[in-house]
Amino acid sequence: MQTVFLSIMYRAVCMLHGVKFWRTLWIGAVLGMSLIPFSGSLSAQELEESENLPVDRPQNFQLLLNRGFLIGSVEGDDRAPINGSLSGSLFLGFSFKAILPRQNAGVRITPGVNWFKINYRQEDEKVFPTDTVFESEKHVFAYLEVPVGFFINFSKDEDGDPRLFTELGGFLGYKLNGSYKRKFEEGGRTSRLIRRDVPNVEDWRFGLYGRLGFKRWALYYSYLLSDTFSAFTTEDGTTPPNDLSTPPTLEIGISFIL
């Protein structure tokens, strides 16, 4: 109908004016009018597709990273002094979340590996892990660990992921390996010693943990209920006093959820 109307107008105008100019103008008008219904159908198609786009769902499978630092020394015992700023845990795990029916709380299970390090201050009074002063000295243990916690989301974003949340739970770990490392001067050069078998280390560790976070970041703490060492045995074959205190049990750090 639009084309017939334009054809009549074209013939009438051509009778009054020059044919060449108006022929060009008529072709342009026909093309423009023919594109109007096509553009309208395209917009409707785009709108229909946008309405059918899938809605983002809350992420129930995530990577989780903890970095904790030991708080305090060994209860004031200078015979086994610990450097808290260089000691603590590095945990990497895969998080599974089960959301409860009301969508604002649930359970998180995060199996992973925890690398736990105890760095000792080099002081003259120390007797453990050796009674000799070196440049540095530490124990490093790797645990297969499974934290299980209950979380509450105080607020969520448009995708249903938490904004402000808290979490409380416990963890159980089994020792995969352990090592003793020290760095010292020998003959004017820096040398390193690594021993893979650390005696009298408990195979199991367990404790409590908690988080208070916003989106992907959280303040993290853990409290170890088990002992790290079943008995104190030095690396140099000496026997330290039996009344040595255990390493600090409280860690504070950060969590990152990806």
Place of tokens 């305090």: 72
Q: Does residue 129 have a cis bond before it (omega within 30 degrees)?
A: yes
Average pLDDT, integer, range 7-28: 49
At 98-129, the pLDDT tens digits run 888 777 889 999 999 999 999 998 888 888 88
CA 161/CA 106 separation, integer angstroms: 12
Within 10 Å of residue 253's Cβ, how many Cβ atoms?
19
Helix axis angle, 2-16 relative to 19-51, nearest 10°?
A: 160
Q: Check residue 5 and give its pLDDT.
A: 46
**Paired tokens of 96:** 């599974």
Q: Check residue 137 and give its pLDDT.
A: 93
CA 117/CA 223 separation, integer angstroms: 15
Q: Check residue 73 and give its pLDDT.
A: 55
Tell me the range of 46-50, 167-171, 198-202 where mean pLDDT is highest. Answer: 167-171
| Residue closest to 108 by CA, chosen among 116, 121, 117, 99 | 99
At 54-113, the pLDDT tens digits run 545 556 889 999 999 998 654 446 677 888 889 999 999 999 988 887 778 899 999 999
Confidence of residue 241 (pLDDT cuts 50, 70, 90): low
Does this model's pTM top 0.85?
no
| Residue closest to 210 by CA, chosen among 201, 199, 221 | 221
CA 18/CA 14 separation, integer angstroms: 6
